[in-house]
Amino acid sequence: MSNNTHAVIVGDGEPPSRDLLYGALQAEKHPQLLCADGGANVVVKLGFLPDCIIGDLDSIHDETKKAVTSDKLINVTEQDTTDLEKVLAYAENAGIQSATLLGFTGRRTDHTLWNLNLLKVFSERIELCFLDDYCEIRRVGSQIVFQADRGQKISLCPLSGDVCSVYTTGLKWPLQNVDLIPGNVGSISNEVLSNPVEIKVGTGELLLCVQRDSASGMIKVVR
C-alpha cells in the first residue's frame, strides 16, 4: 500500500541512476511512484513500475505502455503547463504533501531553471526536493534542521530577492545575521562541520544546494 502523503516523481531530464531512484523510494515508507510523461520510460527501464503516468503521453515508448495497465495512464492534453506542473497538480489533488523529484535537472538548462522556480510556486502546497546523482536542492523558508555527512558541501542561494538575517550552525563557515543578496553576497561551497545543521532565515527564501559527490546518501531533514 502506498503512502498517500509522499511521492517520488520522475521526469524525462537527466536520468537518475538505479541506486538513486531506489534510495529515494526507500527513504520514505511506501511512497507513490509518479512519472511525468517520458519519465516513465526511465522508470520501467530501471526495473520499476509507476503508480501513475501523467501528461500528454506523447513521449512514452511502446515498451513502456506494454509494461503498465491502461488505468495508470492519466492523459492531460492542455499545453499551457509543463509536464512537471501537470504531475504536481495531480499530486496535490491526490493529497500529496511532499515529493522527491528526479529527472528534472540536466539536459535542458531552460527546463531546469523553470523547474527550480516551482519550489517557490508550490511552497505552500507541496514540500519539494530536487534530487540527482550530484546534488539535492530544497527551498528554505524560515528554518530547516538536517543531518548530513561531515565535509559535505553546502551552498545557500537567494531564491527570489534579498534574504535577510541568515543564521547557521553546524557549518565550517557559520553565518550570523548575514544578508544574502543576489549578485553581491552569497554562501557557496560551505561545509558540514557537525550535526545537526540548522539554517534560519529572517525574511526571504533560500535555495539549499547539497552536493552528493562526497555523501553517503540523502540528507535527513529533522524539521
pLDDT above 50 (res 1): no
C-alpha cell at 55: 501528461
Residue 139: the pLDDT is 94
CATH of 140-221, one of 2.60.120.320, 3.40.50.300, 1.20.120.1200, 2.40.50.1070: 2.60.120.320
CATH 2.60.120.320 maps onto the chain at 140-221
CATH 3.40.50.10240 maps onto the chain at 6-133
CATH topology of domain 6-133: Rossmann fold (3.40.50)
Distance between CA atoms of residues 81 and 219, nearest Å: 30
Distance between CA atoms of residues 221 and 223, nearest Å: 6
Summarised one tens digit per residue, pLDDT across range 57-106 is 888 999 998 899 889 999 998 878 888 999 999 999 999 999 999 999 87
Phi, psi of 81 (to 5 degrees): -130, 160
Q: Which of 110, 25, 99, 10 is nearest to 60 (CA)?
A: 10
Sign of the C-alpha dihedral, residues 8, 13, 15, 19? negative
Higher-pLDDT residue of 42, 182: 42
Summarised one tens digit per residue, pLDDT across range 36-61 is 999 999 999 999 999 999 998 888 99
What's the average model confidence in pLDDT over 16-28? 91
Higher-pLDDT residue of 100, 215: 100
What's the average model confidence in pLDDT over 125-149? 93
Q: Are 32 and 7 in contact (CB under 8 A)?
A: yes
